[in-house]
Structure 1
Amino acid sequence: MQVLNRADGALHYLIDGPDGAPVVIFANSLGTDLRLWDALLPLLPQGLRYLRYDKQGHGLSDLWQADRLQDHADDAIALIRDVAQGPVVFVGLSIGGLIGQRVASQHPELVRALVLSNTAARLGTPDSWQDRIAAIRRDGLPAMADGILQRWFGSDFRATPQVAPWRNMLARTAPEAYVAACHALAGADQTQATAALDLPTAVIAGAADGASPPDLVAATAALIRGASFDVITGAGHLPCVETPAAHAAIIAPFLERHAR
């Protein structure tokens, strides 16, 4: 197993591809781990190096802080510096997209291009995240899983057996890690910093996304000079799971243009 030892804990990551190749880093959503990208990666260009990791408290990573967006950004910065050892294309989904926006705004020398999928400069409101935190503490994540899955996936996907592992992944997330990430989202507003970004950016929405609706994602795309914006028909919040071929059809050409 590949682990980056941080001052207070260990981050689990996987890196695939030829040594010395340009690196693409992936930051996943709340309640998922690095397996989020399993179906997408085989559809992306060969000859690149793909780095994915478990956020604090998710998958096989430790939890030690992570109640601010900056905590997650610092983890990603450490991976880019210590593992990627140079500038990357940053692919972020949901909170992962917020992490990417923060890293690109603070350290433009580390991010050569940005893919923002199913995310925005601000997701939800402090009150909505506090409501989510209260519900988790009252009822637990397993009791909330079906409602969250309705925002993640369209009805057709939810009717298949393929939804079961994602429900299990969500329900088995450590509640303290999920709550910490909710606190981070409650305080995260990248609007001003994202409006100042100046790098190649692809922004992607899912037409059936109940967590980050297309209009919200489009508003963030409009903040970034020159950003492209695509909506995937039939996709919810996790198009890399539900419609990986359509997701890859947008991301792969972007990587061909900007990763090398």
Structure 2
Amino acid sequence: MKMADLGDVQLHYRVDGDPHGVPIVFANSLGTDLRLWDAVVPLLPPGLRIIRYDKRGHGLSSLPRPPYTMGGLVRDVERLLDMLEVRDAVFVGLSIGGMIAQGLAVKRFDIVRAMVLSNTGAKIGTPEIWQQRIDAVREGGIEALADATMERWFSRDFRARPEMLLWRNMLTRTPADGYIGCSQAISGTDFYTPTSGLRLPTLGIAGSEDGGTPPDLVRETTELVPGSKFHLIRRAGHLPCVEKPEEYAQVLTEFLREVGHI
């Protein structure tokens, strides 16, 4: 575990794999930390410098007071990757992490040479929906959203397994200010125009039972980038890297080969 002191925020991050390998960066979803990728990382091919981090207000990173903006979240990881001297990375982002991927790709084409948009959108939900969730957290804590969130996150089969409780606990232990701040950032983001101007290798990944970012939204967002590819993981929800890590890693590895990253 390592901490990057960026001044106004301190980001927890870790680097696995080959320290001199080609970089791949993972950004996780709202209400999770970098352990989201634990089942996928060991399945990736050798030769990769695998970088993961906790967004502000999540995991072991610091907890600035909200509101947060998407520009601020993009700037956080931009500064982290500059500190780590990362260039020409493949950036894998899930949900809000996928929005961060889009924002960073628009801003820093020297850092992002290819991106994976997993269970995300150029725009997710509506300001009204996000305000309802923010109000619910302020009134009753994240516990008030936990059961409905698990239905969006996971397939029916996975919700019947005891492992589901690990992710419910991770969600409910997320600081309320971190959840609210990142919800505000999502609410204020519409990347349809900037993402449609991107020209870089792009892979979209969706879960067939995703109640948060349905497959049609992920496909529509992915297709904003000419020449992009799309993969649907069946019998998985919003976090297919948790439910179907073998298939997720296989699809990701094939993409890395196709773009010449390994």
For residues 144 and 86 of structure 2, the distance between their equivalents in structure 1, rounded to whole angstroms, comes to 42
CA contact (8 A) 1:16 1:49 kept: yes
TM-score normalized with structure 1 length: 0.97
Which 5+ residue runs of structure 1 have no aligned equivalent?
A: none
Q: Secondary structure at the match of 2:32?
A: coil
Alignment of 1:102-181 (within 5 A): 102-181=103-182
> For structure 1, which segment, 196-205 or 241-250, has the greater mean C-alpha deviation from structure 2 after superposition?
241-250
> For structure 1, which segment, 76-85 or 106-115, has the greater mean C-alpha deviation from structure 2 after superposition?
76-85
Give CA deviations for 1:146-200 in whole Å, capped at 9, x if unaligned: 1100000011101001111100000010001100001001101110000001000
For residues 89 and 52 of structure 1, the distance between their equivalents in structure 2, rounded to whole angstroms, comes to 12
CA contact (8 A) 1:142 1:171 kept: yes
Q: Secondary structure at the match of 1:30?
A: coil
Which residue does the alignment assign to 2:234?
233
* 1:20 partnered with 2:20: yes
1:8 Cα deviation from its structure 2 partner? 1.4
Identity %: 48
Give CA deviations for 1:111-151 in whole Å, capped at 9, x if unaligned: 01000100010001111111111111112111221110000
Q: Secondary structure at the match of 1:113?
A: strand
> For structure 1, which segment, 105-114 or 250-259, has the greater mean C-alpha deviation from structure 2 after superposition?
250-259
Which residue does the alignment assign to 2:45?
45
Q: How many residues align?
A: 260
For residues 108 and 161 of structure 1, the distance between their equivalents in structure 2, rounded to whole angstroms, comes to 42
Q: Secondary structure at the match of 1:26?
A: strand
CA contact (8 A) 1:36 1:241 kept: yes
Q: Secondary structure at the match of 2:223?
A: helix
For residues 120 and 239 of structure 1, the distance between their equivalents in structure 2, rounded to whole angstroms, comes to 16
Kindly report the root-mean-square deviation, in angstroms, between the aligned alpha carbons of the 2 structures.
Answer: 1.1
TM-score normalized with structure 2 length: 0.97
1:203 Cα deviation from its structure 2 partner? 0.4
1:66 Cα deviation from its structure 2 partner? 6.2
1:84 Cα deviation from its structure 2 partner? 4.4
